[in-house]
Amino acid sequence: MRPVTAFAEWPHIIGHIDMDAFYVSVEIRRRPELRGQPVIVAGTGSRSVVTTASYEARRFGVGSAMPAARARRLCPQGVFLAPDFAYYREASRQVMSMVRATVETVEVVGLDEAYLDLTGLADPPATMRRLVAEIERTAGLGCSIGIGPSKLVAKVASDAEKPRGFVVLSREQACQRFGASPCGLVPGIGPKTVERLRALRVDTLAALAAVPAAALAARFGPRLAAELQRRARFEDDSPVTEERKVISESREVTFDEDIRDPERLEAILAQLVDRLCDGLRAQRRRGRTVGIKVRLDDFSTHTRARTLAEAVASADRVGPVALELLRRFEPRGRSACWGCGSPASSPPTGPTTSSFSWFSSEVSARTGA
């Protein structure tokens, strides 16, 4: 492929690798007869949610975080498998050790993805193509690669042509290519922000980049407004770092719709805990403070946390603490739906807007602990 970019002009060259349909691909590796079929990895309980769907299943509209029951309706012929997290962790370790053997500075950001500092390499795309081929050959897994001058460009690029994507973009090329895309394409701009932007008639990244800063600041406040515009312009100078400056690690999910069903929330929380702990273990880190963050649809954000006697990294230890924090935040039976009338410190939300619209699980981890 013709090099599209003058890497020499970039102060940094960043790669992002993300495995394709990770849990499903790992399952297919040990059951090759499932290749090409709509395969869905989801919990088995009646309230469980989909963790991942093969690209064949995605054609039926099945996606992550969807209730498994809905996935069964959308795709009755799907092959549903219960998750085997230990097996996925093992596959992740295998992949990440190949990544680390290829590039010096690697920031693993979850079980199936990592940022790589490619600055200084003679031919970054060639190095990445070799890595992709090695992962395919040795681990039997497919992945997508993005290369750009920043983590933000690399991340969006790796997602742009999944599965088996390989996309190299400068910042300007990213602006051009994704200018007409919805703002939610960029990590950090969730559905609620997208909705608020739409109210300002800002529907695309190009529109967001071009909207007068004052108009945006009037709606979002100056700091968030500036950050949104930076993201829309693909401006990002955060470094790839193994020693993360932040000592807190979290996983979160933003819902497209309000969720009132406590059991579904608890199932999603359990899934977030699994992903969080997978990430912690992949980085060999532990956390002593377990916290949850809940955002109601009036945008109020509430956090609850507990510090444990020792640092932990397993879902068995983190899960019950997170669950209890969530249950205490809004004990069942106190109201018909969760989020109605939150604790005394938070303003009550109106009856039609009183439910979780968003929450995240968060655990702090001490680097090197």
Residue 275 within binding range of ligand TTP, rule CB under 6 A: yes
**β 39-42/79-81 pair status:** parallel
Give catalytic residues, as residue numbers. Answer: 113
Cβ at position 53, least distance to ligand TTP in Å: 7
Q: C-beta of 105: minimal distance to ligand TTP in Å? A: 21
User: Which of 64, 105, 119, 346 is the binder for ligand TTP (CB under 6 A)?
Assistant: 64
- Which residue type does 291 have? G
**Pairwise CA distance, residues 23 & 43, whole Å:** 12
Contact status: 27 vs Mg ion (CB under 5 A)? no
Please tell me whether residue 107 binds Mg ion under the rule CB under 5 A: no
Residue 352: partners with Cβ closer than 8 Å, 6 or more residues away? none
Contact 319, 267 (CB under 8 A): no
Judged by CB under 5 A, which of 14, 17, 19, 154 binds Mg ion?
19
State the DSSP code for 226: H
Q: Detail the DSSP E strand segments found in the chain.
A: 14-19, 39-42, 50-53, 79-81, 106-108, 113-117, 143-148, 166-168, 248-259, 286-296, 301-312, 356-366
**Of the candidates 7, 10, 22, 356, which one interacts with Mg ion according to CB under 5 A?**
22
- Distance of closest approach, residue 325 Cβ to ligand TTP, in angstroms: 20
Structure tokens at 38: 């709509």
When the beta carbons of 17 and 194 are compared against Mg ion, the nearer one is 17
- With residues binned 3-state (H G I as helix, E B as strand, rest as coil), the percentages for the chain, rounded to 5, are 40, 25, 35
Quick check: 19 binds ligand TTP (CB under 6 A)? yes
Q: Does 20 bind ligand TTP (CB under 6 A)?
A: yes
> Candidates 20-28, 188-196, 318-326, 347-355 — which segment interacts with ligand TTP by CB under 6 A?
20-28
Which residue in this structure is represented by tokens 């460009």?
153
Count interface residues toward Mg ion (CB under 5 A): 5
Give the residue with the Cβ less far from Mg ion, 99 or 216: 99
- Distance, in Å, from the CA atom of 36 to the CA atom of 61, rounded to the nearest integer, reads 16
Binding site for Mg ion (CB under 5 A): 18-19, 22, 112-113
Binding site for ligand TTP (CB under 6 A): 18-23, 51-52, 64-65, 111-113, 162-163, 271, 275
